[in-house]
Structure 1
């Protein structure tokens, strides 16, 4: 099955109430947004530098509970010519963190008819466990191509040799789990890593660019074909980051720089009227960015049926 055959998102699997994949085209490039599931985290994660009452008020305005945050977890598959590129790999399996609603990527790729052996490249926006964990699931590495290329910023690889968690605000257990997943990933995929400096063209029209901020090597992926454009922003943008780009996310290793990156990226996308997909925006997360002064707004795209 090609990506073209998955272009009708209203066909969930037999055990799902809602779709878990959404296909669109960027010029001649096929794009599939795949839901890896949902992460349930403390509400404080979305803005640990603000008054809890202000944060609770924002959550209330969004019809969300004040103490629990449901984070979508999105992955993107890009197909251009003979290249099939997986952008991030989801959570995988980490039962110690009690996140049973995520880690669905491998199952959902199979349901979409995408054979792991067809993946020629993996691009990692960064090496947090919810972006590399799917590649650590038992049996996955054996099903991937021997000549698979894994593209990640050199600064990211360097960071995880001795990661700094002094500026984060994570729930207990997460720093150790993140460190463990990154170390295991580097050990298992060392020979297939293709580190880049600031920017690298993975395939025609598929460019990965380091932004830093969230992690030192955090990167975004920009697609361009014909007159069409699309940016996968990874963890540079969260739902609250449109209205409150200065709120610190608990997983940001350099919150001030992450804020600068977020504002700069949102202004670029608003000026170019370029659509956006991000890891933790509600599935399928395709939206445009509107701006009024210092406040941004996510305008969901109309689904293409």
Structure 2
């Protein structure tokens, strides 16, 4: 296992909590919802925002239904719907504390009661929202920005918060194109409305970049496009250790079938090219991968397997 995996699950060293606060598990928290590790001198914590239950067809709307059903069966997943994980990351580098993506928040019209857990799980982890200096958004889909629209989150954030997002992403959501997606009913309207509200409420905090931007020492955000025009990944590097948070560039099915089109991809063909390039690069340099919709805590490595890839989960370090 990589030396980078030095989990401090119960005793985080991130110093994000108030000194007098003692985090105790909530009665309803029956499974872990956070996992801490070090990337060199950078502290990292992966936090679960819960899960989304979505139709199985969302995995690959360009695949033969029988082939898709066979893959789901081989993975011991139900044939019609399954739970998509929602992961965000908190990073501490130098004097900066960075939240990468913000989860779903609350949208009662979509009936997703098991998602939007970020606020209470940050609290359970002892993370003070007022300590967050920066937010990085991989893109502006509602399951990545909605958490910032929750009242208690907005009230806890500092007024000088910087929100880093690709300029192409902000531009796209001024008049988004949904002609190539394959989403369940209600999602396009919800995505539009959430992005519009977010851009309005956080206009003064936005810090846009074109292609690449160093947010903090060893924390680089790079635009990939594909999933959305401004979709970005976040790469951490310190002391010889490396980790990439891939956002929605990589899904579980993408290792076996990187050419399958996810229903939320606005440019599916480009998204597939981005996915293949990224997975080949991660396999070559052996760095760690975390992604939004990989099963929590989604930390692992990538290996090339012929024309496809293998996902190798990291052993949990206690």
The TM-score by the shorter chain falls in which range?
Answer: over 0.9
Aligned to 1:90: 103
Name the Cα RMSD after superposition.
1.3
Q: State whether residues 14 and 43 of structure 2, in contact with CA within 8 Å, keep that contact through their aligned partners in structure 1.
A: no
Q: Kindly tell me: are residues 148 and 3 of structure 1, through their superposed partners in 2, closer, same or farther at Cα, counting changes over 3 Å?
A: farther
Gaps of 5+ in 2: 1-9, 16-23
SS of structure 2 residue aligned to 1:261: helix
* Count of aligned residue pairs for this structure pair: 301
* 1:266-281 alignment, distance < 5 Å: 266-281=279-294
Q: State whether residues 14 and 92 of structure 2, in contact with CA within 8 Å, keep that contact through their aligned partners in structure 1.
A: no
Q: Distance in 2 between matches of 1:191 and 1:32?
A: 27
Aligned to 1:220: 233
Q: Distance in 1 between matches of 2:181 and 2:59?
A: 12
Q: Distance in 2 between matches of 1:144 and 1:18?
A: 27
Residue by residue over 1:95-146, the C-alpha shift from the partner in whole angstroms, topping out at 9 and shown as x without a partner, is: 1000000000010001111111100000000000000000001232222111
* 4+ runs deviating over 6 angstroms: none
Q: State whether residues 25 and 124 of structure 2, in contact with CA within 8 Å, keep that contact through their aligned partners in structure 1.
A: no
SS of structure 2 residue aligned to 1:139: helix
State whether structure 2 residue 72 is matched by structure 1 residue 64: no
Give the TM-score normalised by the residue count of structure 1: 0.97
From 204, 207, 212, the equivalent of 1:194 is: 207
From 108, 119, 126, the equivalent of 1:106 is: 119
From 207, 220, 234, the equivalent of 1:207 is: 220
Q: Distance in 1 between matches of 2:149 and 2:62?
A: 33
Residue by residue over 1:6-27, the C-alpha shift from the partner in whole angstroms, topping out at 9 and shown as x without a partner, is: 9xxxx85332111000000000
Aligned to 1:151: 164
1:82 positional shift: 1.3
Aligned to 2:3: none
Residue by residue over 1:172-227, the C-alpha shift from the partner in whole angstroms, topping out at 9 and shown as x without a partner, is: 00000000000000000000000000000000000000000000000000000010
Residue by residue over 1:26-58, the C-alpha shift from the partner in whole angstroms, topping out at 9 and shown as x without a partner, is: 001000000000000000000000111110010
Aligned to 2:273: 260
Aligned to 1:282: 295
Residue by residue over 1:265-299, the C-alpha shift from the partner in whole angstroms, topping out at 9 and shown as x without a partner, is: 00000000011000000000001001022110100
* 1:1-305 alignment, distance < 5 Å: 3-4=12-13, 12-305=25-318
Q: Distance in 2 between matches of 1:4 and 1:259?
A: 37
Q: State whether residues 12 and 20 of structure 1, in contact with CA within 8 Å, keep that contact through their aligned partners in structure 2.
A: no
Q: Distance in 1 between matches of 2:177 and 2:25?
A: 41
Give the TM-score normalised by the residue count of structure 2: 0.93
Q: Which moved more, 1:139-148 or 1:117-126?
A: 139-148
SS of structure 2 residue aligned to 1:32: strand
Q: State whether residues 12 and 19 of structure 1, in contact with CA within 8 Å, keep that contact through their aligned partners in structure 2.
A: no
Q: Distance in 2 between matches of 1:187 and 1:40?
A: 29
